Structure 1
Amino acid sequence: MRTQVAVIGAGPAGLLLSHLLHLQGIESVVLESRDRDYVEHRQRAGLLEQGTTDVLRESGAGERLDRVGLVHHGVELRFGGAGHRIPLTDLTGRTVTVYAQTEIVKDLVAKRLADGGDVRFGTEVLAVDPSAPSVTYRSGGETRTLDCDYIAGCDGFHGVCRPAVPGGRTFSREYPFAWLGILADVAPSTDELIYAQHDRGFALHSLRSPKVSRLYLQVPPDEDLAAWSDARIWDELATRFATDDGWKLHEGPITDRSITPMRSFVTEPMRHDRLFLAGDAGHIVPPTGAKGLNLAVSDVIVLARALAERYASGSEALLDGYSDAVLRRVWRAEHFSYWMTHLLHTDPAASDFERRMQRAHLDYVVSSEAASASLAENYVGLPVTWPSGD
């Protein structure tokens, strides 16, 4: 079998890339190890930069996003018993939108299948050959080979594509905390996200819909999820979100819970021969800055444009500049996520001096328009970085 672009992984990055290539008349096959039900229901990020929502709309995949996505114009930093709103739209002219990654995947799967796209679930990729580009995979008990012009590695941190880039250099950082995340069938207690810094640890109040709340607690990375009863979770959330004006947290049935470790990771380069990495295959950010999904989208926007130029004109100039271009934006997002994480989390090893420095920094961010604007500019998303010469 043969196609123009073999896409490994049916997460948002792989599906969106396949969709954008289709709009340019470029054939692709998407290979995904998990079944469709698993892919469409795994819980992931849910905050979209305006650039992400723009490309979904412009590509024709934004109908349900526009109908049920929740557009936000600000975000709250809460500490010392008080909330401080950062007016994102006033400071940047842009917005963010709450729309779960699960919903994006459902939309893109439906779009690709409706357009006659070749998306193969339950297909285990065994190996990729970046030089004589091909993918070896197992499906239905048979081992087969898919020949192609290019391979897009959108198969995440544990996939086969990143190890196929020889001589790569990796950069990583492990954080001394994790997030205990829950979904609850209860109306959100807030109209905009709340990032709370507390002596007992960080907490985040997000939302999924007018009837579903998404909340997080900072916990140790080796925390036992079984140690957290529903009552304990709600009590701890109420403590960390408490304000001097008596703000109340709505409680309800918890339908999902998990613990997510926090780390930063980047691999360089993100290309070898005919193999290109995108999304978590090339980089991971701590979730504090809500950059993971949005970085994956910006990667495939650049890659789709570079591939379209290659098939339209024969020029590989944009493909040659892909890795350097996306890594510039990746490192900017890594820094922002690192900064937000240290600004808001309670380091168990921090000295009293370091904690007072953290509070001083928070006071500055919410009292200085310039500091608030810097946070807002990064939070709503910086422009896509294109290959030089484009």
Structure 2
Amino acid sequence: MTHTTVGIIGAGPAGLLLARLLHNSGIDCVVLESRDRPYAENRQRAGILEQGTVDVLRDCGAGERMDREGLVHEGIELRFDRRTHRVDFPALTGGRRVMVYAQTEVVKDLVRLQLADGAPLLFEAQAHSVTGADTARPTVHYAHQGRPKTLTCEYVVGCDGFHGVTRDALPSAVRRSYERTYPYSWLGILADVPPSCDELIYAHSPRGFALHSMRSASVSRLYLQVPNGTDVAQWSDERIWDELGQRFATDSGWKLERGPITAKAVLPMRSHVTEPMQYGRVFLAGDAAHIVPPTGAKGLNLAVSDVVVLGRALAHWHATGSRELLDAYTDTCLRRVWRAEHFSYVMTSMLHVDPQQTAFDTRLQLAQLERIATSRAVAAELAENYTGLPFDSPAPTDPKLTDPR
């Protein structure tokens, strides 16, 4: 049996960043990751970092390579009705921007820091359960190197994703789930071809949604809306490029560059929130607590927000012995979570074609897109949500701790 102050389950960006924040606050922890290091460092996920996420990574010492290799974006392009409109982030938000830097690279940077001077990080350590959430020493039961092991903790943080085990430590009598499953998926590809655009393109088309993103100056990341249950084998490279070309088409004659496709995957779309995000001495962060459709680019950034709030709360407890901020964790995080859920839902419903959609529904979508293109106030709301709200971490005795409004 091993003991630590904070046991962290999951070495994705949330778990690794929390470990880094705790290390910098002098709080010991152990990180358990079920997969091996190559798998953990190569999971293809999000690639858009909000301004606040960029600032946190810099502040904790994980920003050097990001600043060297990341792509700063000052806007996005909306395409609809064969026209294009640019949303200028700095002009609409007082200077805020986003960074294109893949989650895989964030994880690599944080793993390297953790192994160099951080707390223990155990790969291939499969957590099976968390017990004693409402006791002074909750326990993580896991297997490592073929042997069953236990880790007792002052606190346990589940950063183990939607299918992880930590959420089950919250009794079903107190746990509530809210979910929406969308009637379409994304077919995502990676291609060895320079991006055909300087900034992300979000395209509304009668044929369905399309997104042009990038991973670097030489690698493009693109998505197509497809029916749920789509088999990747049905989509040849030529068919994918042809369909993308039609959905991105404008009357200006813009051209989509093609290249070798190196990866394909179908991604289901869902929204999910678990409340509360804590019980006793067990906390949930990131996908373990909430999932958003990727249209709003919020998943990774919400996970970062969670662990920033939790890291500050644990640092406050460690320095003062007060649980005030820890007890406020759920209310503090959910304010941002539900705002992000709403933004992601609006972006998704505005840009995708529902299988049951009528001509009236399509006209409503186009009217909403036209409002963004013609109203500075509406465009500013989109830009503020996309670039990210300030991380919410109230000070002790702040009245917002007891009033989640």
TM-score grouping bracket, smaller chain normalisation:
over 0.9
What is the letter of the counterpart of residue 142 of structure 2?
A: Y
The correspondence for 1:151, drawn from 130, 152, 156, is 156
Q: Distance in 2 between matches of 1:2 and 1:117?
A: 13
Instruction: Map 1:160-175; keep pairs closer than 5 Å.
Output: 160-166=165-171, 167-175=174-182
Distance 2:317 2:363 in 1: 54
105, 108, 115: which one aligns with 1:113 = 115
1:333-344 alignment runs, 5 A limit: 333-344=340-351
Bigger mean CA offset, 152-161 vs 110-119 = 110-119
Query: Which segment is superposed worse, 211-220 or 160-169?
Result: 160-169
Q: Indicate conservation of the 8 Å contact 2:19/2:118, yes or no.
A: no
* Aligned twin of 1:4: 5
> C-alpha distance in 2, partners of 1:60/1:134?
30
1:203 Cα deviation (Å)? 0.1
Aligned mates of 1:367, 1:180 — CA distance in 2: 31
TM-score when normalising by structure 2: 0.95
Find the counterpart in structure 2 of residue 48 from structure 1: 49
Shift of 1:350: 1.1
Tell me the matched-pair count: 390
Give 1:116-131 correspondences, 5 Å limit. Answer: 116-129=118-131, 130=133, 131=135
Instruction: Identify the residue that residue 138 of structure 1 maps to in structure 2.
Output: 143
* Alignment of 1:30 onto 2:31: yes
What residue is the counterpart of 2:14 in the other structure? 13
> What is the CA RMSD across the aligned residues, in angstroms?
0.8
- Distance in 2 between the 1:179 and 1:69 partners? 24
Shift of 1:192: 0.3
Q: Which runs of 4+ in 1 moved over 4 A?
A: none
Question: Structure 2: which amino acid aligns with 1:373?
Answer: A
CA distance in 1, matches of 2:128, 2:183: 34
Q: What is the deviation of 1:387?
A: 4.3
Unaligned runs of 5+ in 2: 399-405
Rounded Cα–Cα distance in structure 2 between residues aligned with 1:311 and 1:364? 49
- State the partner residue of 1:100: 102
Q: Tell me if structure 1 keeps the 8 A contact 2:23–2:118.
A: no
Identity across aligned pairs (percent)?
A: 63
- 1:76 offset after TM fit, Å? 0.4
SS of residue in 1 equivalent to 2:382: helix
Partner residue in 1 for 2:239: 232
CA distance in 2, matches of 1:238, 1:358: 21
Deviation at 1:117, TM superposition (A): 2.5
Larger CA deviation: 291-300 vs 158-167: 158-167
Question: Structure 1-normalised TM-score?
Answer: 0.99
Give the equivalent residue in structure 2 for 1:381: 388
Give the C-alpha shift of residue 103 in structure 1: 0.1
The amino acid of 2:123's aligned partner reads F
Q: C-alpha distance in 1, partners of 2:206/2:355?
A: 10
Q: Which amino acid aligns with 1:91?
A: L
- Could you say if the C-alpha distance between residues 17 and 116 of structure 1 is closer, same or farther in structure 2, counting changes exceeding 3 Å? closer
Cα separation, 1, equivalents of 2:338 and 2:159 = 19
Q: Answer yes or no: is the 8 Å Cα contact 2:20–2:118 preserved in 1.
A: no
Map of 1:152-301 to 2, 5 A cutoff?
152-166=157-171, 167-301=174-308
Q: Which residue of 1 aligns with 2:330?
A: 323
Amino acid at match of 2:114: R
Distance in 2 between residues matched to 1:99 and 1:128, nearest whole Å: 33
Please list every run of 5 or more consecutive structure 1 residues that lacks an aligned counterpart in the other structure.
Answer: none
Distance 1:303 1:357 in 2: 40
- Aligned-pair CA distance for 1:251: 0.3
Verify the 8 A CA contact 1:322 1:387 in the aligned structure 2. no
SS at 1:4 equivalent: strand
AA at the equivalent of 2:237: D
